[in-house]
Structure 1
C-alpha cells in the first residue's frame, strides 16, 4: 500500500488540484536542495516526500485571500 494514501490526502486538502499544486511546488524546492521536514520519510522521490510533509502538517499552504 502506498503512503500516504489518496484518501488521507484528499481529506486534508480542499481539492485535488490544490494538493497537486502544493506538492509539485514543494517537490521542486526539495529537488533544489531544500531540507526534508519529515523525520523518517518512507519515500525517496521528491513528490512522495512533499506528500509526506503535507500529511504530517509540516507543509502548509495559504491562499492569496489569507485562508489556510
Structure 2
C-alpha cells in the first residue's frame, strides 16, 4: 500500500486512477531504463515509488494523446485476437 505520496496528492496532479497507473508505470520503465531522475532525493528505493513521487511533485505530466493512443492500440489488439479466434474456430469446424 502506498503511504507516500498520498493518493489525494497524486490525484491532484492526475485526473483519474487509470491515468495515474499508466503514467506511473511508463515513468517507472523510463527510470529502470536509465532515464535521468527528476528529484534530488526520494523516499522510495523502487522505480514505481520514485515515479509516484515525481508525479506528486508535478515533475511528470500526462500526455492525453498517448493514453488515447494506448487505449486505441489495446482495442485494435482485442479485435485482432477475436478475429483470429473466430478464424481458428471456423478451421476447426472444417476438420
| TM tier, smaller | 0.7 to 0.9
Deviation at 1:62, TM superposition (A): 1.6
Query: What is the CA RMSD across the aligned residues, in angstroms?
Result: 1.7
Alignment of 1:1-68 (within 5 A): 2-64=3-65
TM-score (norm. length: structure 1): 0.85
SS in 1 for 2:64: coil
Unaligned ranges ≥5, structure 1: none
TM-score (norm. length: structure 2): 0.63
Unaligned ranges ≥5, structure 2: 66-95
Deviation at 1:58, TM superposition (A): 0.9
> Which segment drifts farther, 1-10 or 39-48?
1-10
Runs of 4+ in 1 over 6 A off after TM superposition: none
Number of equivalences: 65
Q: Deviations over 1:1-48 (max 9, x none)?
A: 821011211222110000000000000010011111011111110000
